[in-house]
Structure 1
Amino acid sequence: MSPSEGVAPPIAAFFATIGFSALAICGFGFTSLLTGTDVLAEPALGQGAGIAAMLLSAVVFAVTVYGAIRRARYLGAVWVMVATVAAYLLGVVLGGVLTGADPALAVGSAGDVALSWYAFVLAVTAAAAAWAGIALGRTRASRPEWPWEREDEDG
């Protein structure tokens, strides 16, 4: 790959995924602090539901943002956002059921999350990180050079 082709899609997807994960966790923390609520308010779900939800959403984000970066269309950030939020909600249900919670309780908790500020924070975070990943893949930047390293200048 020449320097003018931009950042390779796997590298851009990696950085976008790390950024998404960090921003989502930070955003959940601040949302919890500001609203005085827990991300998953039902104690019977345990920690497994939250862990499974975050892991599944990060994996789905990574896969979908890679495809969006390869297509190099900013509209792909919307699809990444939708898939990521859906994966988080599915992760709440699967994580809850796999840790022994009542399936109806797990589905109800996913519904509570879907209608909360946490879903909004997750959606905005996913869209912003996906947009940044797509922008990173589309960039034509190259490494910094000293003036004497440039081939196009006389001198």
Structure 2
Amino acid sequence: MTPPSGVAAPVAAFFATVGFAALAICGFGFTSLLTDTDVLSAPGLGQGSGIAAMLLCAVAFAGTEYGAVRRRRYTAALWVTLASLAAYLLGVVLGGVLSGADAAAAIGVAGEFALSWYALVLAVTSAAAAWAGIALHRTRARRPEWPWERDEDDE
């Protein structure tokens, strides 16, 4: 018999993905503000690289998070985090090359990102959102209710 579940797996994965993207973008902004650096600092790379990286990262997060939510194991959040980081780095390179930048420069920027505070921000936000999505599905969460909305039989 399967344990009672809270929010359906696709819905939990969707909410986790949206939360992850919002937290990552916000975290990048604050990290940029605090360190006075750019997320991807390379002249000639353009904005396409960052956009492609975040889109690919969000897609990778969504796919792996759905599998993690269905497995109901909190340790699966580690795989979601690793997949998100790898997808972001791949997105930096692909976005850079597709926007006309030199492949070596795009790989260099991806390597610089991997060793920056931004990679840590991405990993932490990914792990936190993945864990939250799994918890949302595992627990018997429901929408908040006012006391007068509850059935008397539930009390």
User: Would the TM-score normalized by the shorter structure come out above 0.5?
Assistant: yes
Q: Secondary structure at the match of 1:121?
A: helix
Amino acid at match of 1:126: S
Determine the structure 2 residue equivalent to 1:120: 120
Determine the structure 1 residue equivalent to 2:58: 58
Determine the structure 2 residue equivalent to 1:91: 91
CA apart distance, 1:147: 7.8
Determine the structure 2 residue equivalent to 1:150: 152
Structure 1 residues not aligned, in runs of 5+:
none
CA apart distance, 1:142: 3.4
Q: Name the CA distance, whole Å, in 2 between partners of 1:59 and 1:147.
A: 38
Runs of 4+ off more than 3 Å:
142-148
Query: What is the identity percentage for the equivalent residue pairs of Structure 1 and Structure 2?
Result: 72
1:148–1:103 distance in 2 versus 1, CA, 3 Å: closer
Q: Name the CA distance, whole Å, in 2 between partners of 1:74 and 1:51.
A: 29
Amino acid at match of 2:153: E
Determine the structure 1 residue equivalent to 2:109: 109
Structure 2 residues not aligned, in runs of 5+:
none
TM-score calculated relative to the size of structure 2: 0.92
Determine the structure 1 residue equivalent to 2:133: 133
Q: Name the CA distance, whole Å, in 2 between partners of 1:58 and 1:148.
A: 37
Q: RMSD across aligned C-alpha pairs, in angstroms?
A: 1.5
CA apart distance, 1:93: 0.1
TM-score calculated relative to the size of structure 1: 0.92
Determine the structure 1 residue equivalent to 2:11: 11
Q: Deviations over 1:54-100 (max 9, x none)?
A: 00000000000010000010001100000000000000000000000
CA apart distance, 1:152: 5.5
Amino acid at match of 2:117: W
Q: Deviations over 1:117-155 (max 9, x none)?
A: 0000000000000000000010113344648723356xx
